[in-house]
Chain A
Amino acid sequence: MTTRNLSIAVGKGRLESPILDYFAAKQLHFDKTKRNLTLICKNYNIRMLFVKNSDLSQYVHNGIVDLGIAGSDTIHESEYHFVLLGEFPFGKTKICLIAKQHTSPIESVPVTSIASKYTRITRDFVQRRQLNAEIIPLQGSVELAPRLGLAPYIIDLVDTGDTIKANNLVIQEEIGSTSVQLIANQASYKLHYRDIDKLVELLQL
C-alpha cells in the first residue's frame, strides 16, 4: 500500500474542459486526443475516468475509483459520506427557489409543492423553513414545472439566469450555492492518504 496509481472520476459534460485545463495549469498533462473514457496522465501516477455525472458518486462510494470531481450538489444528493479534499476555483453556481412572476412568497402559502432534481436539498429546505410542501422529483427541464402547472415553485441551479428569463420565471430566493469539489472514497483515503495528500498539494486546492 505505498505508491499507487490514483484514479479520478470526472462527470462528462460542462466540467470536462475546465478540469483538464486546471490540471494542465498544474503541470499534469493528459492525452486529450484519444476518444477514450479513460485518460492516463503523461507525467504523474493518475488516470481520469469520464462517467455520467449522476453515477459519479456510486463509483467513488463503492471504491471503484479513489477520487472524484463533482459539484457539491451531486455530492450532497448522493447521501454518501466522502472525504472532501478541496474546492476548485471554477464552476460555482447558485441554488435558487424559483417561481413564475407575481407568485406569493413560499412562506405565505399554507400548502404547496416544489419540483426539483435536487430532492435532498429541497427536503432540507422544507424542513429548515418548516414548510408544508410536497416535493416532486424531476429528472430534467425543471423550469417547465411552473409553466405547465405541475408545481408553483422549483429549486434549481442558476448559472447565468438565461434559462429562467426565457421561461418567464424569477428567482424568489437564493437558498445556497454549489462548488466543484475533489472528493475521495473514505476507505481509499485512509489507505492511501500520503499519495492523495501529495496530489492535493500539487493541485493547490
Chain B
Amino acid sequence: MKNYFTRYDNYLSTIANIQSHLSSKGYLRTHIPLVDKQSNYNFLENSLSKNHNSGNETLREQYVVLMDKENKVIRFDSTVSLAQLLRKHNTVLPFKAQYANTVLHKRGPFNETWQLGAEHFYSALTDADKAFPEMLEILCESINILGIQDFFIHIGYVPLVHSLFERNNDIIADQSKIYAYIRNRSFDALYRHYGFNEKGISIQAFHHLFKIVDKNTINEWYATLNQSEIPNYYHAHNSLDWHTIEKKYFDPIRSLFSTRLGFRLRLDLSEVPETSFHYGTLFSAYAILGTHADRPICIARGGNYIFDYDDISTSANPSHLETLKIPTDKGSKKNSKENSQKDNKKPTIPTTIAGMGFTLYPDPLLELTHDH
C-alpha cells in the first residue's frame, strides 16, 4: 500500500513538473469548474449526435446531477469549460492557458481520468493553425517529462479530407458515414459508398492517399499521388487545379515534416474526427507502455478547433461561472504581464474562439507501471 502511495506521489510530482514547464512557456494555470451546467454541452451533443443514429452521445459519457432548476454535469471536458471562462471574462485573445485536473467519463478504461493540457486561444483559425509547431514542441517535451521517449504523433489534416468530398465548397450531406469509414480506416467501403470508381479514381490511388506516411516516405508518397488520377479528380469535380491544391493542402503538410521534430510525425488522414468544431491540423500521440503488459496507448490528442461563443454559452452570462477565477500563476509573472499588456492594447471582444491545444492522458502511465 505504501508503495502505491509513493508511486502516486511521484506521479503527481511528474504532473507538477509538466505544469511548471508549461508555465515557463507562458501558459497560465487555470481552474476548471468541477460541476457545470448540462446545457453548456448542448453544442457538443449536436455536433456528435448528428453522426450517430441513437443520439444522446454526451449523455452516455456524462455523470449528470439532477437538480430542480437545471441539471448539472460533473466535469468531463476541460477545453470547452476553459473557452467558456474566457467568454465570461471577455478575455482578449490570443491567450495561453493550461489545466491539470481529473474528469469523469462513463466510458473508457478509467472512469476518472487525468487531463493535463495546454491551449493557445485565438480569434482567428489561421492564427491557431500557425501555433502547431510550438504546440508540437511543447507536447513532445511534456511527453518526455512523463518518462516516455519512444512515441509517434499521427497528424490528420481536415481541409485535405474535406476537399475530397466538397463540391463547390459545399460539404456533402452524408458526412456521418464518411467520417465513420475514415475513422475505422474502411477505405474500400468508403470508396464504394461515395462512388469514387465512377469519379475516375482507382482503388489503388484512393488507398495511397490514406496511407500512413512518415518523414522518410512523404516525398515518395507525394510523387506517386501526383502521378495518380487524384489531380484530375480535383480538376473535374471541384474545378480546382492541382497547383492550387498542392499549395493549399500539401505544402503545409510537407513543411511540418521539415521541422526539427519531423521524425516523430506521421501523416494519417484517419485522424480526422467527426466533430464539426475541429478544423485544420489534428493529432494524436501513441506509445507502447507497461512494465509487464506491452500495451499500445494513445497518450495525447490535440489540434485546432473553433467555437462560436453563442454556441458554447447557453446564456450570455452563465451564472455558474460567477464563482470561478483564473488564478495568477506565480511561476510565470513575465508571461502574465505579457498577456495583460496585450489586453490593454486591443480591448476587442471576439465572437468566435479558435484554438490549438493538446490534452495529455497521463493515467496509463500510473496504471501500467503498477506491480502486478
Could you tell me which A residues sit within 8 Å of B by CB distance?
1, 61-64, 66, 79, 81-85, 120, 123-124, 127-128, 185-193
Contact = CB atoms under 8 A, between A and B. Distances in A.
Nearest to A187: B296
Contacts of A64: 293, 295
Contacts of B154: 190
A189 B210 CA distance: 14
Contacts, number: 58
A63 B107 contact: no
Contacts of A79: 60, 107
Nearest to A83: B185
Contacts of B270: 83
Contacts of A63: 295-297
B150 A190 contact: no
B296 A127 contact: no
A84 B152 contact: no
B284 A62 contact: no
B184 A127 contact: no
Contact of B298 (A83, A128, A186): A186
Contact of A190 (B54, B212, B293): B212
Nearest to A185: B296
B296 A188 contact: yes
Nearest to B271: A190
A137 to B, nearest CB: 14
Contacts of B60: 79
A190 B286 contact: yes
Nearest to B181: A84
Nearest to B299: A187
Interface in B150-198: 150, 152, 154, 183-186, 189
A190 B53 contact: no
B272 to A, nearest CB: 13
Given A64-B293, A191-B152, A124 B53 contact: yes
Nearest to A123: B54
The 6 closest A-B pairs by CB, nearest first: A187-B296, A124-B53, A63-B295, A188-B296, A84-B184, A190-B286
A62 to B, nearest CB: 6
Interface residues of B, number: 27
B109 interface: yes
B318 interface: no
Contacts of B183: 81
24 contacts: A63-B295, A63-B297, A64-B293, A66-B296, A79-B107, A81-B183, A83-B270, A84-B184, A84-B185, A84-B186, A84-B189, A85-B185, A127-B55, A187-B286, A187-B296, A187-B297, A187-B298, A190-B152, A190-B154, A190-B268, A190-B284, A191-B152, A191-B286, A193-B212
B111 to A, nearest CB: 14
B275 to A, nearest CB: 13
Nearest to A122: B54
A61 B286 CA distance: 14
B24 to A, nearest CB: 30
Contacts of A185: 296
Contacts of B186: 84
Nearest to A85: B185
A181 to B, nearest CB: 10
B183 to A, nearest CB: 6
B253 interface: no
A100 to B, nearest CB: 27
Contacts of A120: 54
A89 to B, nearest CB: 14
B288 interface: yes
A148 to B, nearest CB: 28
Contacts of B150: 1
A123 B297 CA distance: 30
